[in-house]
Structure 1
């Protein structure tokens, strides 16, 4: 198994952000993580990537217990993450952004993989331009994913990377992500509010509400689940 969460709970003072969540993700699997605002999705991502520590439970990645493992070591084990708000490194070119991410995540340089990523993300024509000032929003998001791919991940975590894009932009971006998955053999775990995108892209979907895992199954099963419908509408399912 690639990633396993075993009874993970996260508390901040008296607030329970994640409550007794367990699931497993296989290699090459594509999984969506959804839920209303404040459901605990980002907190769960933070636990896996190392930005938060569970109060209880355990996270295992490729049989490595991640308890106490720093972020850079998680990256070198194969955990990559792209954020909703792009974070290009200022005064560096697009290529240099990828090189810095690669060295952080792998400890070495691989120019051939950098060229592959530039080709995949369609950023090759801007490879030597300032990443912070020369890219449109869609291109910045492509670079954000490219930086994660540069770390040679086995698991790519996508934290609302489609946010702010129009429908056509989302569809084009998902084609890029699927191409990346096929080329590099990564598993995808994605948080996304757009139910259509999740339904079309993720064979398996998890739903969180108030920190609890309330559904796990195919999109059709999950989005017909009365408890899931109530979590979004606040009322009873029709």
Structure 2
């Protein structure tokens, strides 16, 4: 479904991504981990179209989509959330989903909007101001809802659990698992909590200094000496 071929991203003299190649299969859940500054969000920005790499390819459904505009990538099926929730100000929760849906699909399907609101337990907050009336957990759910409104084939979740306490993380993960099972979509997820990402993901990719240093089942990856060293040695701030 999603294949990255030899992606390199340079900012002046800094190489944020170096020859990154990986794939995400249909209906697969893959975790992306690595120290701060490893290039994880930069990689998501390249996939979603917010950043242009110096070289390489982004293949989605067998098409090179690297030069496709943001709306086109959304309409192909690439959905994205952000670490810091970005509700559209002065719009209700429902209106946030409607705007996202129109951008991502070119039309509005109110039945689908209602389905998403219900699925994410946001129906009771559908008519409140999204920027001022939601809890952190609800804001996170709204981020996922906006991405779901575009009818994605793959969801890029950028630290969607950040800031939630342990119980909140567990409950949110249950929702994500139900979402994955119900809609049969792939999930590519950045997460710092090793236990959480291990329990949720079928595969783990580890990014360090812009390079993939491990890719495989969680039990193998987190016992890899190279991965252990990247988490315990050096300054990656």
TM-score by length of 2: 0.97
- The aligned residue for residue 156 of structure 1 is 155
TM-score w.r.t. length of structure 1: 0.97
Shift of 1:82: 0.7
The reply to whether residue 131 of structure 1 matches residue 130 of structure 2 is yes
Supply the distance in 2 between the matched residues of 1:61 and 1:52 (Cα, whole angstroms).
16
2:207 counterpart residue number: 208
Structure 2 residue aligned with 1:142: 141
Aligned to 2:48: 49
2:164 aligns with: 165
**Native 8 Å contact 1:49 1:81 kept in 2:** yes
Report the CA distance between 1:67 and its aligned residue. Answer: 2.3
Aligned partner of 1:184 in structure 2 is 183
Equivalent residues, number: 234
**1:7 correspondence with 2:6:** yes
Q: 1:184-228: per-residue Cα shift (whole Å, max 9, x none)?
A: 221000000000110100010000100010000011100000000
Following TM superposition, by how much is the alpha carbon of 1:61 offset from its aligned partner in structure 2, in angstroms? 0.4
TM-superposition CA deviations, 1:106-155 (whole Å, max 9, x none): 00011111111111110001111111111111001100110000000001
Structure 1: gaps spanning 5 or more residues: none
RMSD of aligned C-alpha atoms? 0.8
Contact 1:120/1:179 (8 A) holds in 2: no
- For structure 2, list consecutive stretches of 5 or more residues without a partner in the other structure: none
What stretches of structure 1 move > 3 A for 4+ residues in a row? none
State how far apart, in whole Å, the 1-side matches of 2:135 and 2:107 are. Answer: 29
